[in-house]
Chain A
Amino acid sequence: MTDGRVNRSVLVVGNGPYCFKVAGELASVDSVSLAVLREARLDEMEQKPNLVELLMPVELLGFSGQPGEFRAVFRQTNGSHAERTYGFVVVALESEWISTLNKWSVVEDSRITSLSKLEKYVNEYLGNIGPGDKVVFISGFKQDSYPVSQEKIVNFAAAVREKTGAATYVLMEQFKVAQEGLERAFRLARELGVVFVKFSQTIPEVRVGPKECTVQYMDEAMGQAVNISPQLLIFEDEACPPPEGRYISDLLGINLGNQGFLQGDFLFNLPIYTNRTGIFVVGSGKGPISEREAEREAEAVAEEVAKLVCSFDKEVVGPFPTLNENECIHCLTCYRSCPHKAISLYPGQRSPQISPVACRGCGICVESCPRRAIDFEHGESGISYYDIDKEIDHIVYEDSRDVPRIAVFACVNSAYDAYLLAKSRGDRLQARCSVLKVPCGGRVEAAAVIKALGSGVDGVAILTCHENSCKSVHGASRCRKRIAAVKEMMTKCGVKEEAILFGTVAPGSAPQFVELINRFSLRLQGGDGSSIIPGNAGSGGEAR
């Protein structure tokens, strides 16, 4: 964007066949580069995308920039380096299925194997199995199981039973049937004679001798112990995050989730977003999903890319932060605090640059800048809620009667909506509230809280989203920590910290908003024994 031209190409990063499919869906962009981090089998490609460039196997060495101008540095196997610029990045890494045999302290042999091995060498394993033989599948117990892997087990068990006539048992913690057609597939397998056993109190015991292996378990539904000596024993695999996931997420500056799976744990990430605009994650790298879901995500990401391409042609509207270069001391606090990594440093540029495409207007940079060098440009609509200072100056309290006066900083994504809803419902608040709309809890400076407190109110409430549903990733948690620090400071100064409330409330939770305020009000009136203002609960005022 620095030169005014927008790059509309996409870099797809993957480690297996799925990334080829994803690249194939991205038809609406100028070009697609596919960086496959290991050798993958090309013949597994269902649909050959119109690739400009296929880099395989390739190492991603460096990454920088913003949507429309991401720069990636690669090293190929021949040692040559390449640098490319991309508009967008799609991470399509796949998770891995790892054998659980060692967790059961057994060693793989011709009788004992993992589900993925069975898949690969099905004829070899089943060649010697016939009527009268016993085949046992074990699902779960040592790891979480997923509908995708159980679907495989169900289908294999049914096939084993039908084709070999062997007595087939499937021992599982839970039937994971939350997938289209799976409940029916389960029943069909049962009707073929596959015995499914559920466990909730006990777990099966596996013993392997030189001649035979035995599986001992309690059939909890029957209330009897069962002893089986199977000719073939198959263990479900464990889903593990893509090994490249951590490295790639560090490099791209995207959050990592639970157990090292891709994608941070935030409500607004949906199945495809990351904390960075223009960088998406799709597929099983976030945890096992069905093929259909993976396909859906590939299509959805194609839609997102098409939409972003369109947005480049539009003018940026709404409030947008600008940096006053004369005030900036290059401390890089804004660069570090931006949850969406929308702030970049470019060689030759004096100050950090804020990408208008990547910026989501949370205002955390404004709050974090020690020099107050960042300000929001106010849109034509005259919305001025980003200028908290000015707002505080204009707080007007009507005659407060007997109820406390409370200044409320309400996040526009949550608490402010809850307040409006309470107002329209005619809910009664036991306080005179002046509600200030803020773009994110993370925008609220400590100074603003203290200033509001000094403006003659009885209490200040800062109400934000819940931590992992915050649209600006760590806005709510920053706010919580900030408020705790303010309270500590006040205690040290001998001022009662009870006059400050930090709370979380969802946009549709009008009753919770009312409850929070009313309880706070009670506290301010000494409802908990520590009176802050004189007087008792009065008649209250309506939210409107």
Chain B
Amino acid sequence: MQKEVIIVIGGGITGLTVALELAHLGKHPLVVERGPLLGGRSASLPCKATDRCLKCNNCLVEDTLRQIKYDSPFEFMTHTTISDIRREAESWYVTLETGPFFIDWEKCTDCGACYEACARLGASGVVRGASINQHPFFGIDQKACSCLQKGADPACVKECPEGAINILTRPQTRQVKAHGIVVATGYTPYVPPEKNRFGYGRLPNVITTQEADEMLRESGAVTRPSDGRVPQRVAFVQCVGSRDRRIGREYCSRICCGYSLRLALHMIHKYPDVDITIFYMDIQNFGKDFEKYYSEVKDKAKLVRGLPGDFYALDEGKISVSYFSEEQQKNVAQPFDLVLLTIGLSPQEENPDLANMLGLGINEDGFLRPSQADASAVVVAGTARGPMDVAECICDAKSAAFKMANFLEGS
């Protein structure tokens, strides 16, 4: 009997969970990930615990990755994109392109020789995972490779004791016959445009929450990019890239209120003297502990209803933020050491193309929607469908796996 392969597009938490569930049911998923590593964006979420877990959900991701690392329950391909999908009778013919730069994960032992070789040259062509449970733990970012730019033989290839690094002139192609497709392509974080009133991109101490996350994961603290110091006064600006018709995003990103309140509590726990102000429109419920966290933040930080207006540079890297003070009934400008823009979740740019190829719909917000006609041969799961948190993604992935398994049983 021929294996009934299911292509899972996207190696983030949703795609991996779908694949894991399908594998448990005895199916044969193949995860296709365009990036160098498995785990997606959620793999680098930093822990925001105080003396209690605040449910940033990274541990859920770690747990999933751990299962995959030790059990290898399904096949996956990193550095791989889909160049063509054809539907013939009951099957999909999917053309996959790997590389031209990639690490053969079956040979790779995660020893790190490649990373060290690349770092010695001062380049960042070899990227490292954020979680020890990511296998492969290293990947190639061909745009950042300095060896090829200089026309030299890449150092990483020479240093790899297993010969696992492939640097080809053309991508390797492979055609796969699939019985079903799961779309788990996720979201893209909103990036403020070049000209924005927040001063993002212009003022070094105005950063996005994504950048704060990376910093927290990497170094264990959120500090000021300008001088690496721990900020005394921090402003969070909510709804950057969400709930905004002007930029075509008329939806709430759902996860950012919880994100900010958690990060605020974490920072206060770590540095009790830190003075945090959160500018918000409306606080959205997040999880079952909503009331608990919300009232704790109300006690320990300042919540200001209303989005701030102007952001000006002050001395010593400080930022002046102007807002309407309800108490004083007038506009005031307050200096902050660090401004965190709580950015929303945006639909992937490729969504229209993908929808076209697979006969999917696009909702009013630009996220993917299962088509009415051929709902079960193609299943959409996770943040590709709209904003949701990690726990919801996992739940959504399980429901997607169920739908896919049902479809395969029925066909």
Instruction: Answer whether A and B touch in the complex at a CB cut-off of 8 Å.
Output: yes
Surface stretch bound by B, among A36-44, A174-182, A532-540: A174-182
Whether B282 pairs with A175 at a CB distance below 8 angstroms is yes
Q: Chain A nearest CB: distance from B257 CB in Å?
A: 8
Among A198, A297, A469, A510, contact of B282 (Cβ-Cβ < 8 Å) = A198
Q: Chain B nearest CB: distance from A149 CB in Å?
A: 11
Residue of A nearest to B256 (CB): A178
Q: Does B131 contact A (CB under 8 A)?
A: yes
Whether A310 pairs with B24 at a CB distance below 8 angstroms is yes
Question: Hey, what's the 0/1 contact readout for A191-209 against B, CB within 8 Å counting as 1?
Answer: 0000000101100000000
Surface stretch bound by A, among B97-105, B154-162, B168-176, B387-395: B387-395
Q: Chain B nearest CB: distance from A5 CB in Å?
A: 21
Chain A residues lying within 8 Å of B66, measured Cβ to Cβ, are: 417, 507
Whether A303 pairs with B405 at a CB distance below 8 angstroms is yes
Beyond A187-B250, A506-B59, A509-B46, whether A296 also contacts B285 by CB under 8 A is no
Residue of A nearest to B245 (CB): A187
Q: Does A249 contact B (CB under 8 A)?
A: no
Whether A267 pairs with B59 at a CB distance below 8 angstroms is yes
Whether B47 pairs with A512 at a CB distance below 8 angstroms is yes
Chain B residues lying within 8 Å of A271, measured Cβ to Cβ, are: 391-392, 395
Whether A302 pairs with B131 at a CB distance below 8 angstroms is no
Q: Does B322 contact A (CB under 8 A)?
A: no
Whether B399 pairs with A300 at a CB distance below 8 angstroms is yes
Among A28, A302, A424, contact of B112 (Cβ-Cβ < 8 Å) = A424
CA distance A271 to B398 in the complex (A): 11
Whether B305 pairs with A296 at a CB distance below 8 angstroms is no
Chain A residues lying within 8 Å of B131, measured Cβ to Cβ, are: 417, 421, 507-508
Question: Hey, what's the 0/1 contact readout for A13-24 against B, CB within 8 Å counting as 1?
Answer: 000000000000
Whether A307 pairs with B217 at a CB distance below 8 angstroms is no
Chain B residues lying within 8 Å of A270, measured Cβ to Cβ, are: 60, 391, 394-395
Chain B residues lying within 8 Å of A302, measured Cβ to Cβ, are: 402
Q: Chain A nearest CB: distance from B226 CB in Å?
A: 21
Q: Which of A386-445 contact B (CB under 8 A)?
A: 413-414, 417, 420-421, 424-425
Chain A residues lying within 8 Å of B243, measured Cβ to Cβ, are: 177, 183
Chain B residues lying within 8 Å of A261, measured Cβ to Cβ, are: 288
CA distance A310 to B402 in the complex (A): 13
Among B26, B53, B250, B254, contact of A267 (Cβ-Cβ < 8 Å) = B53
Whether B220 pairs with A512 at a CB distance below 8 angstroms is yes
Chain A residues lying within 8 Å of B60, measured Cβ to Cβ, are: 267-268, 270
Among A287, A417, A469, contact of B288 (Cβ-Cβ < 8 Å) = A287
Q: Does B252 contact A (CB under 8 A)?
A: yes
Whether A180 pairs with B365 at a CB distance below 8 angstroms is yes
Q: Chain B nearest CB: distance from A297 CB in Å?
A: 6
CA distance A220 to B401 in the complex (A): 48
Beyond A174-B284, A258-B289, whether A220 also contacts B326 by CB under 8 A is yes
Q: Does A515 contact B (CB under 8 A)?
A: yes
Among A180, A286, A296, A417, contact of B399 (Cβ-Cβ < 8 Å) = A296
Surface stretch bound by B, among A319-327, A363-371, A460-468: A460-468
Whether B285 pairs with A144 at a CB distance below 8 angstroms is yes
Among A220, A293, A303, A311, contact of B398 (Cβ-Cβ < 8 Å) = A303
CA distance A198 to B47 in the complex (A): 34
Q: Which of A334-388 contact B (CB under 8 A)?
A: none
Whether A469 pairs with B49 at a CB distance below 8 angstroms is yes
Q: Does A33 contact B (CB under 8 A)?
A: no
CA distance A174 to B305 in the complex (A): 10
Among B282, B289, B292, B398, contact of A174 (Cβ-Cβ < 8 Å) = B282
Chain B residues lying within 8 Å of A184, measured Cβ to Cβ, are: 250-251, 364
CA distance A149 to B167 in the complex (A): 56
Q: Chain A nearest CB: distance from B60 CB in Å?
A: 7
- Provide the main secondary structure of the chain B interface: loop
Question: Hey, what's the 0/1 contact readout for B361-399 against A, CB within 8 Å counting as 1?
Answer: 001110000000000000000000011000110111011
Chain A residues lying within 8 Å of B220, measured Cβ to Cβ, are: 509-512, 514-515
Q: Which of B108-134 contact A (CB under 8 A)?
A: 110, 112, 128, 130-133
Q: Does A59 contact B (CB under 8 A)?
A: no
Q: Does A133 contact B (CB under 8 A)?
A: no
Chain A residues lying within 8 Å of B45, measured Cβ to Cβ, are: 508
Whether A466 pairs with B49 at a CB distance below 8 angstroms is yes
Chain B residues lying within 8 Å of A286, measured Cβ to Cβ, are: 288
Q: Which of A472-526 contact B (CB under 8 A)?
A: 504-512, 514-515
Whether A198 pairs with B305 at a CB distance below 8 angstroms is yes
Question: Hey, what's the 0/1 contact readout for B174-199 against A, CB within 8 Å counting as 1?
Answer: 00000000000000000000000000
Chain A residues lying within 8 Å of B51, measured Cβ to Cβ, are: 466, 504
Q: Does B91 contact A (CB under 8 A)?
A: no
Whether B285 pairs with A467 at a CB distance below 8 angstroms is no
Question: Hey, what's the 0/1 contact readout for A293-318 against B, CB within 8 Å counting as 1?
Answer: 10011011011101100110000000
Beyond A200-B305, A310-B24, A504-B49, whether A180 also contacts B398 by CB under 8 A is no
Whether A307 pairs with B282 at a CB distance below 8 angstroms is no
Beyond A174-B284, A177-B251, A201-B326, 20 additional contacts (C-beta under 8 Å) are A28-B406, A144-B285, A144-B291, A147-B285, A174-B283, A177-B243, A178-B257, A267-B59, A270-B391, A271-B391, A272-B398, A287-B288, A303-B21, A306-B405, A310-B24, A425-B128, A465-B59, A507-B62, A507-B131, A509-B46
Closest 5 pairs between A and B when the two form their complex, measured CB to CB: A511-B220, A506-B47, A299-B399, A469-B53, A303-B402
Which residues of A come within 8 Å of B, CB atoms?
25, 27-28, 144, 146-147, 174-184, 187, 198, 200-201, 220, 223, 257-258, 261, 263, 265, 267-268, 270-272, 286-287, 293, 296-297, 299-300, 302-304, 306-307, 310-311, 413-414, 417, 420-421, 424-425, 465-469, 471, 504-512, 514-515
A-B contact pairs, 15 of them (CB 8 A): A144-B285, A174-B282, A177-B282, A178-B285, A180-B251, A184-B364, A200-B326, A223-B329, A270-B60, A271-B395, A272-B395, A296-B399, A417-B66, A467-B53, A507-B132
